[in-house]
Structure 1
Amino acid sequence: MLGRIWNWRKSMFAQMLVLTSIFLGWGLYAFVIRPLADMPVQVDVPPPLQATESELRSTLAGFMLSVRDDPSDASDIAEDGFLREVAARNPEFRFYVRVGNRAFGNGPPVFFRQFGFAALEQVHRAVADPTICTQGEKIMDGKDGDGYASFRMCDKLTYFEYHDLRHPVVIEHSSPLGVRRKWISAFSGNFLLAAGGVFLIFAIIFSLHMWSIRRVARLARSIDPQRLDALLPEKGVASEILPLVRAVNHLIAQVDAAQRRATFFLSAAAHEMRTPLTVLRTRLELMEDGPQKDKLIGDVRRLTRLVNQLLTLMSIGNRRDVTGFTDLTASAAKVIRGRMPLAEQADVTLMLDSARDEVEIPGDATLIESAIANLVDNAISFAPPGTTVRVAIDADGRITVRDHGPGFGDIDPVALFEPFARPVSARRGYGLGLAIVAAIVRLHGGDMCARNAEDGGAEFTLTFAS
């Protein structure tokens, strides 16, 4: 039971569930529990005169800072609605604001010299370092009215004061309901933030697992049907996908076993057929000469060639790698020399065109020569009398065999390399030559293609890694 729970950690659902639970738990505490705990049961409303003074100081300080930050500001503080209401309630109310050499207000600075701020300004101006700041304030509460003075000087003097504030102005305060509405609005934004975070977590986890799935898919596409010894990796795969990967690996193993049995059967059958064919041909040689004898010997010869091709195809399919190095130019020249009698009999000219005197690639010389020979034989059989079969070798290890025959028409070029594929039904042969070529090229990790040439004929190209 514990083992199954521990293996559940690889599940995409389990990973998202754990991470989402952690994230939402933190969000519940940070955005719900803690704000509710810190929310006051009721809003404390200050006395009216105290609230009026707080709003007044905030208004004067805000205007002073705006003028300091923007000297071009030409607004008139006397037009402020709150100050006009204070002045209407308090006929003797006076205020004064100074920023540098600019002064504003409806009265003179009463407290600036009374409390020594003027002397403090002179002392500060004597200081050479403008980064040193001086500040102070004075609060006056009296029966004749409240007053206040605020002095601050760094590189520029900022000062404001007021006096004779006796009657408060009615100010609307936030009710507990308003505070709760603000909290609900803030919580809505926080909730959206949490939802976005959860979505981001889902996206990250799914992206990581989708990358793993695509990696497995790429490996599955890269499996060579002729080499089924490679299986899909099970390490690092999510538990939801692991059964599928294991099922595919089981299928690959079964197909590989079936292919091995089929290969063994064909190979064994071909081997067993060679001896009876040899005996049959020997007995035919003892017969009296005549058309019937020649026909039977020809049939046996073709059947023997079929058996040899099957054995060659089976032996190539059973190999997993190749060793050694091959000179493509030398191999092609050797094949052309060996096919000269056949080409002369068909009135076809063989021509070798190599980009270099020596083009060396890793590979088995015997197999590569067999592949070139099959292509040359195929080209000679289709080439009209008096034409040329050209074998071209590029410096990067690409071999092209070109003839000027009828081509292969609308037939799928890929199907030409399948065993027993015969695009021309009247042509003699069993369709194994190009299949042998394809098996040799795949064994060497190369590629092959066929196409109809623009000016007639067929062109077969083999690519090897140089």
Structure 2
Amino acid sequence: MARRPSLKWPLIIKPLIFHLLALLIAFFALLMVLVRADSGGYYTIQTFAPIAVNAVQRDDQGRLYVQPTPEFTEALKAAPDAWFIAQDQQGHHVTYGNVPQVYASLVGGLASIPYGDLRGREKTDGLAAAVRQHSGPAGRLTIMAHGEVDTLTWMMALAAHVITLPIFLMLALVTLIVTPIIVKRALAGVERTAREAREISASRRGIRLTETAVPVEIVPLVTAVNEALDRLDEGHERQRRFIAAAAHELRTPIAILKVKIDAADESTSRSLAVEVARLATLAEQLLDLHRLDDDGHKETINLARLAKRVAADLAPLLIQSGRTVAVAVEPHAPVLGETGAIERVISNLVLNAAEHGGRHVIVRVQDTCIEVEDDGPGIPASERERVFEPFQRLRPRQTGAGLGLNLVKQVIDRHGGHVTILDAPDGGALIRIELPPHPGVTSKVNTLAEG
């Protein structure tokens, strides 16, 4: 399975890499400018001045003297020709090493020069010096020191790295913390659009995704989805109108044909009543497909009374074809639903049982369940999911349009129930419908007859 791309890489990691490259290029360019702007010469490395201050001590009379420390001794190994002049605020001073003659006049006058950098022409002429103020064992001192020297290029490169590293770390930290928050807020509209898309279904059409809540870059996608939904709704509406019109057109000639057959004397003509009834059922099933899209009025349903009414309506037709139907009522409870839809469900199940080999059909009502049992050949376990698909027949030459069980499942699903196909005790098929209990009824209603 291909890994789905994430916005984390293009919105966080890539900008971070480009920021780093931009910083490196900018500081490298700045370094080159500083090097070219420099007039040349050598600088003393400034770390020697604080080391020298720590080596200056004060005696009991307040005079300054040099007491080399281990750190000072180590620094002299790198710069054997090091020297310095140190002076306090009272004018006391001390020197160390070979102070160049040009700087001798500054002895005793350093207090007026708190900061400065002097270059040397050559690396070994000893003229490169730094003037700084530092605190040490002898107090705060102004020190002019010459230690290890180097060119400006090395100093600038070091300074560039010292400056670049914390800036890059701060930039990386801000990018890693702030960018996900910014991205999440920017895509909040996309999450809202996703929630709207999840609400779209065959029974909830007309919903459109909000285009104003998403970023401009995603608007074309949302617009295209809305246009596609418009086309789907238009096609669905055309299909609904066709089914409704076809079913209504079929009902009239079927009704006329049924009346003529019922009035006929010939047994052959009267035997066509079953086929006419089948056509009438098909027309009603097509109308049921049309009705599924309309939310009907829900009311309290007494399943026992409804099952008896359906059985009474279908009994003459079934008896005429040599079949029987019976209703067994056990303790049951009312349910909330569309009476007409549940009535058509029971009718479809009874007719389906009669058409598929059942000679004796039993409708059983128990609790909030309805079971329709027959003594036919049954439905193989491997086919029990497929028979709920539209226009599916268990056997190729079987009568019927293959819509009955599909309509049953759609209606029960809309009512929040569940349909199960089981084996009947006598080897036939048993279709069980489980409906949710009435939300306004807290205790079971026990009825054995009319409820």
The equivalent residue for 2:338 is 364
Where structure 1 has 5 or more consecutive residues not aligned to the other structure, the ranges are: 1-11, 62-76, 90-135, 148-158, 163-167
Cα deviation, 1:57-105, whole Å, max 9, x if unaligned, reads 33689xxxxxxxxxxxxxxx9982525888xx9xxxxxxxxxxxxxxxx
2:54 is aligned with 1:58: yes
Q: How does 1:110-121 map to 2 (within 5 A)?
A: none
Contact (CA 8 Å) 2:208, 2:229: kept in 1 or not? yes
2:388 is aligned with 1:411: no
Q: Tell me how far 1:349 sits from its aligned partner.
A: 6.5
Question: How far apart, in 1, do the equivalents of 2:222 and 2:338 lie?
Answer: 35
Question: How far apart, in 2, do the equivalents of 1:192 and 1:424 lie?
Answer: 73
Q: How does 1:226-237 map to 2 (within 5 A)?
A: 226-237=203-214
**Aligned match of 1:285 in 259, 262, 268?**
262
What value does the CA root-mean-square deviation take over the aligned residues? 5.4
TM-score scaled by length of structure 1: 0.56
Give the AA of the match of 2:342. Answer: I
Residues 143, 218 of structure 1: alpha-carbon distance in 2 compared, 3 angstrom cutoff: closer
Cα deviation, 1:389-437, whole Å, max 9, x if unaligned, reads 654546xxxx564758734432362x54443332344654333323333
Contact (CA 8 Å) 1:383, 1:403: kept in 2 or not? no
TM-score scaled by length of structure 2: 0.57
Contact (CA 8 Å) 1:78, 1:84: kept in 2 or not? no
Contact (CA 8 Å) 1:348, 1:389: kept in 2 or not? yes
Contact (CA 8 Å) 2:54, 2:137: kept in 1 or not? no
Contact (CA 8 Å) 1:417, 1:435: kept in 2 or not? yes
Contact (CA 8 Å) 1:313, 1:439: kept in 2 or not? no
Question: 1 or 2, which has the higher helix percentage?
Answer: 1
2:252 is aligned with 1:275: yes
2:92 is aligned with 1:140: yes
Q: Tell me how far 1:300 sits from its aligned partner.
A: 1.7
Contact (CA 8 Å) 2:370, 2:433: kept in 1 or not? yes
Residues 260, 381 of structure 1: alpha-carbon distance in 2 compared, 3 angstrom cutoff: same
The equivalent residue for 2:274 is 298
Q: Tell me how far 1:304 sits from its aligned partner.
A: 1.9
Question: How far apart, in 1, do the equivalents of 2:187 and 2:357 lie?
Answer: 53
2:158 is aligned with 1:186: no
Q: Tell me how far 1:236 sits from its aligned partner.
A: 1.4
**Aligned match of 1:245 in 209, 212, 222?**
222
Q: Tell me how far 1:182 sits from its aligned partner.
A: 1.5
Q: Tell me how far 1:370 sits from its aligned partner.
A: 3.2
Where structure 2 has 5 or more consecutive residues not aligned to the other structure, the ranges are: 1-6, 58-66, 81-87, 98-106, 109-135, 440-451
Q: Secondary structure at the match of 1:185?
A: helix
Q: Tell me how far 1:380 sits from its aligned partner.
A: 7.3
Contact (CA 8 Å) 1:348, 1:383: kept in 2 or not? no
Question: How far apart, in 2, do the equivalents of 1:143 and 1:192 lie?
Answer: 43
Residues 199, 81 of structure 1: alpha-carbon distance in 2 compared, 3 angstrom cutoff: closer
Q: How does 1:75-86 map to 2 (within 5 A)?
A: 80-83=70-73
Give the AA of the match of 1:312. Answer: D
Give the AA of the match of 1:82. Answer: F
Residues 180, 265 of structure 1: alpha-carbon distance in 2 compared, 3 angstrom cutoff: same
Question: How far apart, in 2, do the equivalents of 1:379 and 1:385 lie?
Answer: 8
Q: How does 1:68-79 map to 2 (within 5 A)?
A: none
Question: How far apart, in 1, do the equivalents of 2:195 and 2:96 lie?
Answer: 89
Q: Secondary structure at the match of 1:350?
A: strand
- Taking only the aligned residue pairs, the percentage that are identical comes to 24
